[in-house]
Structure 1
Amino acid sequence: MTIKDKLQTAASAAAGLLPDALMLAGAGGISYGAWLVYVPAGYVVGGLFALAAGVVLARGAK
């Protein structure tokens, strides 16, 4: 396996993880923004995102 093949494999793996990383960062940003407005709201919003992610994973991301 050449370096070019390894880089292509790594790039395809990174491209597959990019949407998940962006969604996680977005959820974190929204939760942090809510926390800046009202501290308990940040925890509530973060919990709702975690609950929604759990439901999606439990359904098999259909």
Structure 2
Amino acid sequence: MKALKDGVAAYATELMMGVGAALVSVGAGIIYLPAGIITAGAMLLAGAVLSCLGGGKA
């Protein structure tokens, strides 16, 4: 259980970014489905760029 807690703590920022992107995409999709799909793609691209630029502690 401690390993799970440590793993979640290590990736908390990335998890919250992913959940936030999913909620924004779902919200846009509820209003207009193509907008939700486009928003999801834009969020995935932005997340990939941020991940590449961030570097991390690998």
TM-score by length of 2: 0.75
CA distance in 1, matches of 2:46, 2:16: 16
TM-align CA RMSD: 1.8
> How many pairs were matched up?
55
Match of 2:12 among 14, 18, 22: 18
Q: Which has the higher contact order (CA 8 A, sep 6+)?
A: 2
The equivalent residue for 2:36 is 42
Matches within 5 A, 1:50-61: 50-59=44-53, 61=54
5+ residue gaps, structure 2, are none
Please identify runs of 4+ aligned residues in structure 1 that moved more than 4 A: none
TM-score by length of 1: 0.71
Equivalent pairs: percent with the same residue? Answer: 27
Structure with the greater alpha carbon radius of gyration: 1
